[in-house]
Amino acid sequence: ETGSPYLGDILISIPRAKAQAKAAGHALELEVQLLVVHGVLHLLGHDHAKPKDKAKMWMAQAQILKSLGLGAVQIRED
């Protein structure tokens, strides 16, 4: 017991991440890092179902990735 609230789990499909990394033209490691940040934002209540919410979430995601030295990688939506 840490005293911190449990927010949930983040599950990442490595085969799916490999395909997404290939489609985006970057390394698997970068894709997994992006998916972890994206997942944490969802656990914190962010969503991207509506354009306004998506813009807010993508901005937060870009700021976090930049602060981690990972640049402006974005999730592709196919």
pLDDT digits (tens, 9 = 90+) for 3-56: 888 999 999 999 999 999 999 999 999 999 999 999 999 999 999 999 999 999
pTM, two decimals, is 0.84
CATH superfamily of 14-67: Metalloproteases ("zincins"), catalytic domain (3.40.390.30)
**pLDDT of the residue at 44:** 96
**Where exactly are the structural domains of the chain?**
14-67
**pLDDT of the residue at 73:** 66
Task: State the sign of the Cα–Cα–Cα–Cα dihedral 62, 67, 68, 71.
Answer: positive
**pLDDT of the residue at 4:** 85
